[in-house]
């Protein structure tokens, strides 16, 4: 009979316990989520710092490899100043030029082979055209400055003099 009092249900205390268990689980999951977010943020910052360092020091190996060539050039100049021996200076400069070519090769930079080849605006920069009966028109007759490529990219085109047909007389 209903007399206006609320009857006590035995499952109510069980519901209360499972609500508390769920609240604890939610709190644990929120804590885990916050830790994971912090970990992701730390990883992002670390990656950003590593990328900045990589950019700042990307030329480090190249600079380190160039220094012996610079030292050799300075020794050749010093020796020529002290002895007046121009042949020693020439030998020193040739040695340094060889060192620099080796360094470029070590860093995957290759010279562009241009002499005697058909002019290619992707690889060559024409400085002038010279009439020539000895060369087909648009052939590289002279390389003024070597061009270089790094892998498949042109670092600097070869600066060249290109043949053209001789004037008809």
How far apart are alpha carbons 114 and 161 in whole angstroms?
Answer: 10
138: CB partners within 8 A, 6+ apart: 118, 119, 162, 163, 164
Are the C-beta atoms of residues 122 and 154 closer than 8 Å to each other?
Answer: yes
Question: 162: how many CB neighbours lie within 10 A of its CB?
Answer: 22
Report the C-alpha gap between 116 and 123 in whole angstroms: 13
Q: What is the per-residue pLDDT across 51-71, written as a single tens digit (0 to 9) for each?
A: 998 888 888 888 888 888 888
User: Which residues have CB under 8 Å from 157's CB, separation 6+?
Assistant: 112, 122, 123, 124, 125, 147
Domains, in order of start, for the chain: 110-169 (2.30.22.10)
pLDDT in tens, 110-124: 999 999 999 999 999
Q: Check: pTM over 0.85? Answer yes or no.
A: no
The answer to whether residue 103 scores a pLDDT higher than 60 is yes
């Amino acid at each position: 009979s209903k007399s206006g009092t609320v009857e006590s249900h035995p499952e109510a205390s069980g519901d209360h316990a499972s609500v508390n268990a769920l609240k604890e689980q939610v709190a644990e999951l929120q804590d885990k989520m916050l830790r994971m977010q912090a970990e992701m943020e730390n990883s992002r910052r670390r990656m950003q710092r590593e990328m900045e360092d990589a950019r700042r020091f990307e030329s480090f190996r190249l600079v380190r490899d160039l220094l012996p060539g610079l030292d050799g050039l300075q020794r050749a100049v010093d020796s020529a100043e002290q002895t007046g021996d121009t042949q020693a200076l020439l030998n020193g400069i040739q040695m340094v030029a060889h060192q620099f070519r080796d360094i470029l090769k070590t860093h995957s930079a290759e010279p562009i082979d241009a002499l005697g080849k058909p002019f290619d605006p992707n690889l060559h920069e024409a400085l002038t055209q010279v009439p020539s009966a000895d060369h087909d028109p648009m052939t590289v007759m002279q390389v003024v400055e070597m061009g270089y490529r790094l892998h498949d990219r042109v670092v600097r085109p070869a600066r060249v003099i290109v043949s053209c047909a001789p004037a008809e007389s």
